[in-house]
Amino acid sequence: MNTPPSAAEQPADPSGPANPSTPSDPSRPDTPGKHRLLRLRRAVAGLRPRMLAAFVAVAAISALATATLTYRAATNSTLDLTQDTTLDELRRRIDVLAPALPFPPTQAELNRLAGQLSGTGGFRDWRVLAAYGTTHSEWTQPVTVPPTLQSTVGAGHAAFQRFTADGHPWLAAGVPVTNATTGPIGSGTPSGLTVYAILPLDREQGAANEVLAGAAGAGVFAAVLAAGLALLAARQVLRPVRALGDAARALAQGRLDTRLTVTGHDELAQLSKTFNHTARTLQGTIEELRAVESQGRQFAADVSHELRTPLAAMLAVTDILDEDAEHLPADTATALRMISNETIRLTRLVNDLIEISRLDAGAAPLRTEAIDAAAAVRETLDLRGWSDRVDVDLPATLPTRLDPRRFDVIVANLVGNALRHGRPPVRLHLTTHGDDTDGDLVLTVTDRGPGIPPTELPHLFDRFYKADKARTRSEGSGLGLAIAQENARLHGGIIEAANSPAGGAVFTLVLPRGTASEDQ
C-alpha cells in the first residue's frame, strides 16, 4: 500500500473557517466629547495640532498596514510550511508501516498502527487516528477530527484543515491509504483505510504573536518619531506664521513701520516679502493721506483765522446800520437785515471751523472745574433766551466737574437743534446714573417733531450733514452736533440720538462725574 499522488492533495474546505489566529482590529479610542472649553477648541483647531495629527495618522496607518501585511505573510508562510511538512511526514510514515498491516485490519491492528504513527518522535508531537469503515483506533484526545475533513479524505483526497478547539489552534491532516499491489483489490484503488493526524499550532501562533508584537512596537516607534518630526516641522512653519500674525496685529494698531525679517527662499519667505511690500505701500499711502488731510485742516484753520478780522469789522458795521435800519427805505432795510443775518451766520461758521480745527489738531484743552451742572444748564438757556421755550426738569443742585465752556457748547447745540428742527414742547431732563459722586451725568433733550429717519441716524454727527436734504440754507452750519460730540468725547462721554416711542427725537448726553481730567 502507498499514498495517493500528491496532485490529489487539496484543502478540505477552502471557504471554511478563517485562521483563528488572525488578530482583530484594535479598538480605537472614543472621540472627544462635544462640550469643550473655548480655549481647548481653539488649541485643537490650531495648525500645530493638525500637523501633529496628520503626521501621526500617516505614520500609524502606514505602521498598521505594514504590521498587517507582515503578520499575514509570516503566518501564512509558517502555516503553509507546517501543513506541507505534516502531510509529507504522515505520508512517509504510512508508506513504511502500512505494507505490514493485515487487511482488512482489526481494532487491535488499527490501535497498533495509530500508536506507531503517534508520539513525539519524528516531525511533531501529534496524535493519530486510524479508521477503517466504522472501526477506528482508540481516541482519547480532547478534540475530534472535523467532519468536513473526514468527508474530503473519505472521498480519496489527502487534505488538511485548521480549526480552533478549547481556545487553542489545531491542524488536522488526513491521508487515504490505497492498495499498491496487484491483488484482488487492484492497484491504486482506495482501501477504505484513512489516517488522520492532529497537532497543536500553539508554537506557530506564538511565533505569529511575536511578529505582531514586533510590528506593533515598530508602529509605536514610528508614531512617536512622526510626532517628533511633526513638532519640529510645525515649529519651523509656525514661527514665521506667528511672526506674520504679530506683524499684522501691529500694523492694524497703527505701527506702520512694522516689517518682517526675510530668511530663505521658500513660500514663507515670499509671503514675508509680500507683507513688507504691502506694509511699505500702505505706510506711504497713509502718510500721503495724512499730509493731505493736515494740509486741508491747516488751510481751513488759516482761512478761518484770516476771515475773523474782516468779519469782526463787518459785524461792527452791520450792528451800527441795524440801529438805523428803521429810518431807511424798506428795500434798503430789508437788504441790510439780510446782510446782517448772513454776516452773523458766516461768523458762526468761521468760529465752528476754527473749533473743529483745534479739536482735530488736539489743541483743544479741557479745563475742568467744580461746577453745579443744573445751574450751568439754566445759565445756557437764559443766555440765549430759551428759558420760556424749554420745559426743564433739573435737580436743585448737581455738583460735578466739567469744562463749563464746552458743557455750554454741548447743551446749546442740543437744545438749539431741537428748537430749530423739532416741534414744541422741547423738554430737557438732567439726572445722574449710578453712584452719587462717581456716577454718570445724564442729560436728555426731547421734542415732539417728526423724528429722525432711521437711515439718517448713523450720520447725524457727521460734519456738514443735514438730515433734510431740501434744507440747503439754514441757520446751522452742519457742524454743531459734530462739535458737541467731540466735546463730549473730550470729557470721556458720548451723545446718542434716537426716536422717542411717543414721537419726536431724543438726544442723550452721558458724561462721567468726578473722573474728568484736572485743569490743563
What's 192-231 look like in SS3? Answer: EEEEEEEEECHHHHHHHHHHHHHHHHHHHHHHHHHHHHHH
Instruction: Determine the distance from the C-alpha atom of residue 406 to the mean position of all C-alpha atoms in its chain, rounded to a whole number.
Output: 48
- End-to-end alpha carbon distance in the chain: 126
On the question of pLDDT at 508 being above 60, the answer is: yes
Mean local confidence (pLDDT), 284-295: 82
Q: Count how many residues are written for the chain.
A: 520
Mean local confidence (pLDDT), 382-392: 93
Task: Check residue 8 and give its pLDDT.
Answer: 40
User: Could you tell me the pLDDT band of residue 126, with boundaries at 50, 70 and 90?
Assistant: confident
Task: Check residue 24 and give its pLDDT.
Answer: 42
Contact by Cβ (8 Å): 495, 461: yes
User: Could you tell me the pLDDT band of residue 232, with boundaries at 50, 70 and 90?
Assistant: confident
Grid cell of 424 as nine digits: 414744541
The dihedrals phi and psi of 205, each to the nearest 5 degrees, come to -65, -40
Report the candidate in 402, 417, 431 with the shortest Cα–Cα distance to residue 475: 417
3-state secondary structure 374-443: HHHHHHHHHHCCCCCCEEEECCCCCEEEECHHHHHHHHHHHHHHHHHHCCCCEEEEEEEECCCCCCEEEE
Average pLDDT of the chain to the nearest whole number: 76
Q: Quote the CA–CA distance of 91 and 471 in Å, as a whole number.
A: 118
Task: Check residue 516 and give its pLDDT.
Answer: 40
Coil, strand or helix: which one is 258? coil
Q: Which DSSP state fits 489?
A: H
Which amino acid type is present at position 503? Answer: G
Task: Check residue 301 and give its pLDDT.
Answer: 67
Model confidence pLDDT, tens digit, residues 448-494: 988 888 888 888 888 777 655 544 445 556 788 888 999 899 889 99
Residues 6+ apart with CB under 8 A from 31: none
Residues 6+ apart with CB under 8 A from 53: none
Hey, how many other C-beta atoms are within 10 angstroms of the C-beta on 322?
Answer: 14
pTM of the model: 0.46
Contact by Cβ (8 Å): 29, 207: no
Mean local confidence (pLDDT), 129-140: 78
Coil, strand or helix: which one is 161? strand
- Contacts of residues 268-275 at CB distance under 8 Å and 24 or more positions apart, as own/partner, are 268/237, 268/240, 268/241, 269/240, 271/240, 271/244, 272/240, 272/244, 275/244, 275/247, 275/248
In which order are the strands placed within the sheet that holds 494-499?
Answer: 390-393, 426-433, 440-446, 505-512, 494-499
On the question of pLDDT at 49 being above 50, the answer is: yes
Report the candidate in 387, 416, 434 with the shortest Cα–Cα distance to residue 507: 416
Q: Quote the CA–CA distance of 489 and 512 in Å, as a whole number.
A: 10
Model confidence pLDDT, tens digit, residues 238-262: 777 778 888 888 888 888 888 888 8
Domain 267-361, architecture per CATH = Orthogonal Bundle (1.10)
Lowest-confidence segment of 188-202, 291-305, 321-335, 469-483 by average pLDDT: 469-483
Contact by Cβ (8 Å): 222, 52: no
Task: Check residue 403 and give its pLDDT.
Answer: 92
Task: Check residue 188 and give its pLDDT.
Answer: 62
b or e along 196-209 (b: 16 or more beta carbons within 10 Å of the residue's beta carbon)?
bbbbbbeebbeebe
The dihedrals phi and psi of 248, each to the nearest 5 degrees, come to -65, -40
DSSP run (H or E) holding 163: strand 159-165
Structural domain spans, the chain: 6-14+36-211, 267-361, 369-512
Task: Check residue 15 and give its pLDDT.
Answer: 40
User: Could you tell me the pLDDT band of residue 117, with boundaries at 50, 70 and 90?
Assistant: confident
On the question of pLDDT at 7 being above 70, the answer is: no
pLDDT higher at 21 or 358: 358
Residue % of the chain over a pLDDT of 90: 16
Task: Check residue 374 and give its pLDDT.
Answer: 93
Q: Which range in 29-43, 200-214, 400-414 is most confidently predicted, on average pLDDT?
A: 400-414
Instruction: Determine the distance from the C-alpha atom of residue 309 to the mean position of all C-alpha atoms in its chain, rounded to a whole number.
Output: 63
Q: Quote the CA–CA distance of 115 and 130 in Å, as a whole number.
A: 9
On the question of pLDDT at 437 being above 50, the answer is: yes
User: Could you tell me the pLDDT band of residue 32, with boundaries at 50, 70 and 90?
Assistant: very low
Task: Check residue 415 and give its pLDDT.
Answer: 94
Grid cell of 117 as nine digits: 504513527
Grid cell of 173 as nine digits: 491532516
Q: Quote the CA–CA distance of 448 and 423 in Å, as a whole number.
A: 5
Task: Check residue 103 and give its pLDDT.
Answer: 77
Task: Check residue 362 and give its pLDDT.
Answer: 72
Q: Quote the CA–CA distance of 388 and 19 in Å, as a whole number.
A: 105
Mean local confidence (pLDDT), 429-457: 85
Model confidence pLDDT, tens digit, residues 365-383: 888 999 999 999 999 999 9
Q: Quote the CA–CA distance of 8 and 154 in Å, as a whole number.
A: 13
Find the radius of gyration of the CA atoms of the chain.
Answer: 52
Model confidence pLDDT, tens digit, residues 171-191: 788 888 877 533 343 346 777
Report the candidate in 199, 241, 177 with the shortest Cα–Cα distance to residue 85: 199
Coil, strand or helix: which one is 128? strand
User: Could you tell me the pLDDT band of residue 59, with boundaries at 50, 70 and 90?
Assistant: confident
On the question of pLDDT at 69 being above 50, the answer is: yes
What's the CATH class of domain 369-512? alpha beta
According to DSSP, the β-strands at 159-165 and 505-512 are unpaired
